[in-house]
Amino acid sequence: MTPEEFRAALASHGIEVTNAQMAQFEKYYQLLVATNEHVNLTAITDHDEVYLKHFYDSALGALADQSLQTQSLTLCDIGAGAGFPSLPLKILFPQLKVTIVDSLQKRINFLQTLCDELGLTNVELVHDRAETFGSAQSSYREQFDRVTARAVARLVVLSELCLPAVKVGGQMIAYKASAGEDELKVATGAINKLGGQLDHLTTLSLPTEPVEPRNLYVINKVSATPKKYPRRPGVPNKKPLVNVK
Protein backbone atom coordinates (compact mmCIF):
# COMPACT_ATOMS: atom_id res chain seq x y z
CA MET A 1 0.00 0.00 0.00
CA THR A 2 1.63 3.22 -1.16
CA PRO A 3 0.98 6.42 0.81
CA GLU A 4 -1.42 7.50 -1.93
CA GLU A 5 -3.30 4.20 -1.66
CA PHE A 6 -3.37 4.59 2.13
CA ARG A 7 -4.92 8.02 1.77
CA ALA A 8 -7.46 6.83 -0.80
CA ALA A 9 -8.45 3.78 1.26
CA LEU A 10 -9.20 5.95 4.29
CA ALA A 11 -11.06 8.47 2.11
CA SER A 12 -13.30 5.64 0.90
CA HIS A 13 -14.37 5.25 4.54
CA GLY A 14 -14.98 8.98 4.96
CA ILE A 15 -11.65 9.76 6.67
CA GLU A 16 -9.85 12.61 4.94
CA VAL A 17 -6.10 12.78 5.56
CA THR A 18 -4.48 16.20 5.20
CA ASN A 19 -1.09 16.90 3.63
CA ALA A 20 0.28 17.72 7.09
CA GLN A 21 -0.94 14.37 8.43
CA MET A 22 0.60 12.55 5.46
CA ALA A 23 3.91 14.24 6.27
CA GLN A 24 3.59 13.02 9.86
CA PHE A 25 3.05 9.45 8.71
CA GLU A 26 6.09 9.62 6.45
CA LYS A 27 8.27 10.97 9.26
CA TYR A 28 6.86 8.21 11.51
CA TYR A 29 8.02 5.64 8.97
CA GLN A 30 11.49 7.14 8.68
CA LEU A 31 12.00 7.26 12.46
CA LEU A 32 10.61 3.74 12.89
CA VAL A 33 13.04 2.23 10.40
CA ALA A 34 16.03 4.22 11.64
CA THR A 35 15.40 3.27 15.29
CA ASN A 36 14.62 -0.33 14.39
CA GLU A 37 18.25 -0.82 13.40
CA HIS A 38 19.24 -0.83 17.07
CA VAL A 39 15.94 -1.30 18.96
CA ASN A 40 13.61 -4.19 18.14
CA LEU A 41 10.38 -2.41 17.26
CA THR A 42 8.95 -4.31 14.29
CA ALA A 43 9.68 -7.13 11.87
CA ILE A 44 7.94 -5.12 9.15
CA THR A 45 10.18 -2.44 7.65
CA ASP A 46 9.21 -2.31 3.95
CA HIS A 47 7.71 1.10 3.19
CA ASP A 48 4.43 -0.05 1.66
CA GLU A 49 4.04 -2.87 4.19
CA VAL A 50 4.32 -0.43 7.09
CA TYR A 51 1.61 1.74 5.57
CA LEU A 52 -0.63 -1.30 5.12
CA LYS A 53 0.05 -3.50 8.15
CA HIS A 54 0.79 -0.83 10.74
CA PHE A 55 -0.71 2.52 9.73
CA TYR A 56 -3.85 1.38 7.89
CA ASP A 57 -4.42 -1.57 10.21
CA SER A 58 -4.24 0.75 13.23
CA ALA A 59 -6.81 3.09 11.68
CA LEU A 60 -9.38 0.30 11.45
CA GLY A 61 -10.26 0.82 15.10
CA ALA A 62 -11.92 4.12 14.16
CA LEU A 63 -14.19 2.22 11.77
CA ALA A 64 -15.22 -0.22 14.50
CA ASP A 65 -15.80 2.68 16.92
CA GLN A 66 -16.59 5.82 14.96
CA SER A 67 -16.70 7.96 18.10
CA LEU A 68 -12.89 7.91 17.96
CA GLN A 69 -13.14 10.11 14.87
CA THR A 70 -14.95 13.01 16.51
CA GLN A 71 -15.00 12.84 20.31
CA SER A 72 -12.30 14.00 22.73
CA LEU A 73 -11.93 10.58 24.32
CA THR A 74 -9.21 9.36 26.66
CA LEU A 75 -7.56 6.41 24.92
CA CYS A 76 -5.11 4.05 26.59
CA ASP A 77 -2.98 1.71 24.47
CA ILE A 78 -1.72 -1.34 26.37
CA GLY A 79 1.53 -2.83 25.08
CA ALA A 80 1.75 -0.36 22.22
CA GLY A 81 5.26 -1.35 21.15
CA ALA A 82 6.11 1.04 18.34
CA GLY A 83 2.90 3.01 18.92
CA PHE A 84 0.28 0.86 17.23
CA PRO A 85 -2.65 1.44 17.09
CA SER A 86 -2.75 4.58 19.23
CA LEU A 87 -0.36 6.94 17.43
CA PRO A 88 -1.78 6.49 13.91
CA LEU A 89 -5.19 7.13 15.50
CA LYS A 90 -3.78 10.21 17.24
CA ILE A 91 -2.33 11.55 13.99
CA LEU A 92 -5.66 11.10 12.22
CA PHE A 93 -7.80 12.34 15.13
CA PRO A 94 -5.75 14.90 17.10
CA GLN A 95 -8.53 15.50 19.65
CA LEU A 96 -7.86 12.11 21.27
CA LYS A 97 -6.01 12.16 24.60
CA VAL A 98 -3.64 9.20 24.48
CA THR A 99 -1.84 7.24 27.19
CA ILE A 100 0.60 4.55 26.07
CA VAL A 101 1.78 1.76 28.36
CA ASP A 102 4.79 -0.39 27.54
CA SER A 103 7.12 -2.51 29.65
CA LEU A 104 10.33 -1.73 27.73
CA GLN A 105 12.05 1.61 28.39
CA LYS A 106 13.76 1.60 24.98
CA ARG A 107 10.37 1.58 23.28
CA ILE A 108 9.13 4.37 25.53
CA ASN A 109 12.21 6.39 24.59
CA PHE A 110 11.46 5.88 20.90
CA LEU A 111 7.84 6.91 21.39
CA GLN A 112 8.91 10.08 23.22
CA THR A 113 11.23 11.03 20.38
CA LEU A 114 8.49 10.22 17.88
CA CYS A 115 5.91 12.39 19.64
CA ASP A 116 8.41 15.25 19.87
CA GLU A 117 9.35 15.00 16.20
CA LEU A 118 5.72 14.76 15.04
CA GLY A 119 4.54 17.55 17.33
CA LEU A 120 1.96 15.34 19.04
CA THR A 121 0.46 16.76 22.24
CA ASN A 122 -1.76 15.20 24.91
CA VAL A 123 0.22 11.95 24.75
CA GLU A 124 1.39 10.41 28.04
CA LEU A 125 3.96 7.61 28.00
CA VAL A 126 4.07 5.18 30.93
CA HIS A 127 6.83 2.64 31.48
CA ASP A 128 4.99 -0.14 33.31
CA ARG A 129 3.59 -3.64 33.13
CA ALA A 130 -0.12 -3.77 32.28
CA GLU A 131 -0.81 -5.77 35.43
CA THR A 132 0.50 -3.05 37.75
CA PHE A 133 -0.79 -0.19 35.59
CA GLY A 134 -4.37 -1.39 36.06
CA SER A 135 -4.05 -2.70 39.62
CA ALA A 136 -6.32 -1.68 42.50
CA GLN A 137 -3.51 0.55 43.83
CA SER A 138 -3.00 2.41 40.55
CA SER A 139 -4.30 5.92 39.88
CA TYR A 140 -4.92 4.85 36.27
CA ARG A 141 -7.41 2.13 37.17
CA GLU A 142 -10.81 2.55 35.48
CA GLN A 143 -9.89 6.00 34.12
CA PHE A 144 -10.13 5.60 30.34
CA ASP A 145 -12.95 5.92 27.83
CA ARG A 146 -11.25 3.47 25.48
CA VAL A 147 -8.48 0.93 25.92
CA THR A 148 -6.91 -0.62 22.83
CA ALA A 149 -4.55 -3.53 22.31
CA ARG A 150 -3.11 -4.95 19.12
CA ALA A 151 -0.91 -8.04 18.72
CA VAL A 152 -0.37 -8.34 22.48
CA ALA A 153 -1.95 -11.58 23.75
CA ARG A 154 -4.86 -13.98 23.46
CA LEU A 155 -8.22 -12.38 24.19
CA VAL A 156 -8.63 -14.22 27.51
CA VAL A 157 -5.31 -12.73 28.68
CA LEU A 158 -5.91 -9.37 27.02
CA SER A 159 -9.18 -8.91 28.88
CA GLU A 160 -7.42 -9.14 32.24
CA LEU A 161 -4.73 -6.70 31.10
CA CYS A 162 -7.08 -4.12 29.57
CA LEU A 163 -10.50 -4.13 31.21
CA PRO A 164 -9.25 -2.96 34.64
CA ALA A 165 -8.12 0.30 33.00
CA VAL A 166 -11.47 0.95 31.27
CA LYS A 167 -13.91 3.20 33.12
CA VAL A 168 -17.42 1.86 33.67
CA GLY A 169 -19.33 2.98 30.58
CA GLY A 170 -16.17 2.86 28.46
CA GLN A 171 -15.00 0.26 25.98
CA MET A 172 -12.08 -2.02 25.22
CA ILE A 173 -11.15 -2.49 21.56
CA ALA A 174 -9.22 -5.65 20.79
CA TYR A 175 -7.55 -5.91 17.37
CA LYS A 176 -7.53 -9.52 16.20
CA ALA A 177 -6.90 -11.42 12.97
CA SER A 178 -8.77 -14.58 11.95
CA ALA A 179 -8.20 -16.37 15.28
CA GLY A 180 -10.49 -13.98 17.10
CA GLU A 181 -13.64 -16.12 16.97
CA ASP A 182 -12.01 -19.07 18.71
CA GLU A 183 -10.39 -16.75 21.23
CA LEU A 184 -13.76 -15.17 22.07
CA LYS A 185 -15.27 -18.55 22.98
CA VAL A 186 -12.49 -19.14 25.50
CA ALA A 187 -12.54 -15.57 26.82
CA THR A 188 -16.27 -14.90 27.32
CA GLY A 189 -16.32 -16.05 30.95
CA ALA A 190 -13.28 -13.96 31.81
CA ILE A 191 -14.70 -10.89 30.06
CA ASN A 192 -17.88 -11.13 32.10
CA LYS A 193 -15.95 -11.77 35.34
CA LEU A 194 -13.86 -8.64 34.75
CA GLY A 195 -16.90 -6.41 34.24
CA GLY A 196 -17.07 -6.58 30.46
CA GLN A 197 -19.68 -7.56 27.89
CA LEU A 198 -19.22 -7.90 24.15
CA ASP A 199 -20.92 -4.99 22.39
CA HIS A 200 -20.12 -5.87 18.80
CA LEU A 201 -17.64 -7.38 16.39
CA THR A 202 -16.60 -5.46 13.31
CA THR A 203 -14.97 -7.58 10.61
CA LEU A 204 -12.88 -5.68 8.07
CA SER A 205 -9.99 -6.64 5.82
CA LEU A 206 -6.71 -5.33 4.55
CA PRO A 207 -6.84 -4.57 0.81
CA THR A 208 -4.51 -7.39 -0.15
CA GLU A 209 -4.52 -10.51 -2.28
CA PRO A 210 -5.45 -12.82 -0.68
CA VAL A 211 -7.66 -10.81 1.64
CA GLU A 212 -6.42 -10.60 5.22
CA PRO A 213 -9.35 -10.43 7.67
CA ARG A 214 -9.29 -8.18 10.70
CA ASN A 215 -11.70 -8.69 13.60
CA LEU A 216 -12.20 -5.83 16.02
CA TYR A 217 -13.95 -6.75 19.25
CA VAL A 218 -15.60 -3.84 21.04
CA ILE A 219 -16.30 -4.78 24.65
CA ASN A 220 -18.38 -2.60 26.97
CA LYS A 221 -17.31 -2.06 30.58
CA VAL A 222 -20.64 -2.64 32.31
CA SER A 223 -19.46 -3.00 35.93
CA ALA A 224 -16.35 -2.40 38.03
CA THR A 225 -13.57 -4.98 37.80
CA PRO A 226 -13.12 -6.96 41.06
CA LYS A 227 -10.15 -5.54 42.98
CA LYS A 228 -8.13 -8.76 42.82
CA TYR A 229 -7.75 -8.34 39.03
CA PRO A 230 -5.43 -8.00 37.28
CA ARG A 231 -3.28 -10.51 39.09
CA ARG A 232 0.45 -9.95 39.57
CA PRO A 233 2.75 -9.63 36.51
CA GLY A 234 3.03 -12.81 34.47
CA VAL A 235 0.13 -14.66 36.08
CA PRO A 236 -2.59 -13.73 33.54
CA ASN A 237 -0.52 -15.26 30.75
CA LYS A 238 0.57 -18.34 32.73
CA LYS A 239 -2.85 -19.03 34.28
CA PRO A 240 -5.51 -17.41 32.08
CA LEU A 241 -9.04 -17.06 33.39
CA VAL A 242 -10.58 -19.95 31.48
CA ASN A 243 -13.70 -21.78 32.65
CA VAL A 244 -14.75 -18.97 35.00
CA LYS A 245 -18.29 -17.76 35.51
CA 59 vs CA 9, 68, 203: distances in Å? 11, 10, 13
Half-sphere exposure of 58 (CA within 13 A, CB side): 22
Distance (Å, whole) CA 74 – CA 232: 25
CA 75 vs CA 87, 149, 233, 243: distances in Å? 10, 11, 22, 30
Residue 154 annotated as part of some ligand binding site: no
Distance (Å, whole) CA 45 – CA 26: 13
Residue 110 annotated as part of some ligand binding site: no
Residue 170 annotated as part of some ligand binding site: no
Distance (Å, whole) CA 151 – CA 205: 16
Residue 187 annotated as part of some ligand binding site: no
> What one-character DSSP code corresponds to residue 170?
E
Binding residues for S-adenosyl-L-methionine: 79, 84, 130-131, 150
Binding residues: 79, 84, 130-131, 150
